[in-house]
Amino acid sequence: MGYKALIGLEMHCEISKTKTKVFSSAANSFSDIPNSNVSPVDMAFPGILPVVNKEAVKKALLASIALGCKQPEYVYFERKNYYYPDLPKGYQITQETKPAPIGIYGKLRFEFNGEYREVRINNIHLEEDAASTDHYSRYSTIDYNRAGVPLLELVTEPDFTSADEAVAFLETMRSIYRYANISDADSRKGQIRCDVNVSIMDEDLDSKDPANWGTKVEIKNVNSFGGVRDAINYEISRQIEMKENGTYDSLEQQTRRWDETTMTTVYMRSKVDAIDYKYFVEPNIPKFKLDPAWIEKIRSEIPVFATERKEKYMTEYGMNNYDATILVNEKSISDFFNEVVELGANPKLASNWMTTMVLGYLNNNDKTIEEVYLTPKKLYDLINMIEEGKISSKQAKEVFNKIMEEDKTPEKVVEELGMKQIGDEDTLRPMIIKIIEEHLELIEEYRKGRNVFDFFVGQVMKQTRGQANPSLTAKIIKEEIDKR
Ligand code: ADP
Ligand code: MG
């Protein structure tokens, strides 16, 4: 018999885009110097009082609204009580039991292998991050910089059926956090950590009915998307093997961890005697009412996200998947491209310029779009000059490099480089007649079948320093030869 997997994710993402921490005035900024962004609140000194950071609540609400969640009428926090050296208060301030979370019961549509999937969001809640610990052979260190950093925890329903699908969702969420200016969502800075829940069930049973679900195994604190993929795949195989060797019935709900060196999941603890966190409402933070007008204002500030932009680029602009993916990767690039198109540029031409020249230049020079002189208007004008035949595409590339590096319009550069194409007959025809009259012997050769055409074009280009419009030049030469 075959099996299918059910996967649910708990994705933690630090809100990195607030000035200060979620309940204290210490800076919320990544620092290499341990214990440099710390206030007495983060260290749990006696008598401290947490104060809620409005900006953190706003960003959490933004995520909640973007995920189609229901927002609570009143926001309040809860204490999750446990002891660990990275948690000096002896509890974490979080939002666990419903309806506390900043968002409940939402959904997200995301792209997976060219198709659209939808995952149900159980809840998204705002909490504080713990300090970070490092363990050495004879001692451990604690860095309180991370203590109190605002953290969003998003919990999905077990709607994923493969590791790749789960990762596609995580990539979509990372993009949303970045587009909405909630977080850099940078795994390398430890800003994203996931708990992965995996179970398997018989292939022909209905996965909509929870009664059919298998025993769930939770893998804690996986800190890269590659790790999430490997951990899920490993865990699915491990559980299938248990089915096949008859030990599956002894599988109990448990928490495991992903070991990157052995590429296996390792048993940590059983969930059967799960820790009782003794949640209760945080008494030091009065509950507060959410103003519906504020929610509407936040809603109006939500940008169009990458999934929808990419869909539009492919269906309306006829872009291929690869180019569309590159263009929506960073919001600033997609915004820039949108502006060029809104100015009236042909989307196809504009996307070619963006994906090859603009991104090529930025990658080669390790710069962002904000760090060069190019503006949407300048790129639009440059594209227009090619379309109108004022300059050749070859010339345009030269102009492009100048307008990236100098604060000049393309017109100005074209003028300075003396590049304008000569596209009027009144200038070109007399010049061509003169050239032909100076080489009348070639007309005879031409009649004998020799190709003299390129020679004449070459002469015109030489005299105009390459600025003659090529198709008009060819047309006049042909006419003048035929007349003789
Ligand atoms: P717990 O009480 O152990 O924290 P929850 O029911 O709150 O469990 O679910 C936590 C996570 O586990 C969610 O992401 C959920 O989607 C996922 N999950 C629940 N049941 C299963 C299952 N049978 N298989 C896979 N994931 C599951
Ligand atoms: Mg949590």
> What domains sit in the chain, N to C, each tagged with a CATH number?
3-298 (no CATH), 304-416 (no CATH), 425-483 (1.10.10.410)
Q: In the predicted model, is pLDDT for residue 422 greater than 80?
A: no
Extract the tokens encoding 276. Answer: 């009782």
Burial 419-456 (b: 16+ CB within 10 A, else e): bebbbeeeebbebbeebbeeeeebeeebeeeeebeeeb
Q: How far is the CA of 122 from the centre of ligand 1 (A)?
A: 10
Q: What tens digit of pLDDT does each residue of 246-301 get?
A: 999 999 999 999 999 999 999 999 987 777 899 999 999 999 999 999 999 999 99
160 close to 173: Cβ distance less than 8 angstroms:
no
User: What confidence tier does 102 reach under pLDDT thresholds 50, 70, 90?
Assistant: very high
Predicted pLDDT at 384 = 94
Give the span between the Cα atoms of 294 and 72, in whole angstroms. Answer: 13
8 lines ligand 1 (CB under 6 A): yes
Predicted pLDDT at 423 = 75
Q: What tens digit of pLDDT does each residue of 222-254 get?
A: 999 999 999 999 999 999 999 999 999 999 999
Q: Residue 313: what are its φ and ψ, rounded to 5°? A: -60, -40
Predicted pLDDT at 449 = 82
For the chain, what percent of residues have pLDDT higher than 70? 100
Q: How far is the CA of 404 from the centre of ligand 2 (A)?
A: 46
Q: What tens digit of pLDDT does each residue of 124-139 get?
A: 999 999 999 999 999 9
Q: What tens digit of pLDDT does each residue of 434-443 get?
A: 999 999 888 8
Average pLDDT, stretch 98-118?
Answer: 96
20 lines ligand 1 (CB under 6 A): no
9 lines ligand 1 (CB under 6 A): yes
Q: Report the predicted TM-score, pTM, of the whole model to 2 decimal places.
A: 0.88
Q: What tens digit of pLDDT does each residue of 334-366 get?
A: 999 999 999 999 999 999 999 999 999 999 999
Predicted pLDDT at 87 = 95
* Furthest C-alpha separation in the chain: 104
Predicted pLDDT at 399 = 95
Predicted pLDDT at 343 = 98
For the chain, what percent of residues have pLDDT higher than 90? 84
265 lines ligand 1 (CB under 6 A): no
Going by C-alpha positions, the residue among 393, 13, 350, 286 that lies closest to residue 169 is 13
Residue of 216, 273, 276 to mutate, ligand 1, most atoms within 8 A of C-beta: 216
User: What confidence tier does 144 reach under pLDDT thresholds 50, 70, 90?
Assistant: very high
Q: How far is the CA of 350 from the centre of ligand 2 (A)?
A: 45
> Which ligand places an atom closest to the C-alpha of 279?
2
- CA-213 nearest atom, ligand 1: 23
> HSE on the CB side for 177, CA within 13 Å?
28
Predicted pLDDT at 484 = 79
Q: How far is the CA of 261 from the centre of ligand 1 (A)?
A: 26
Q: What tens digit of pLDDT does each residue of 301-325 get?
A: 999 999 999 999 999 999 999 999 9
Extract the tokens encoding 266. Answer: 């390792």
What average pLDDT is seen over the chain? 94
* Amino acid identity, position 42: D
96 lines ligand 1 (CB under 6 A): no
DSSP 434-455: HHHHHTHHHHHHHHTT---HHH
Q: How far is the CA of 254 from the centre of ligand 1 (A)?
A: 11
157 lines ligand 1 (CB under 6 A): yes
Q: In the predicted model, is pLDDT for residue 424 greater than 90?
A: no
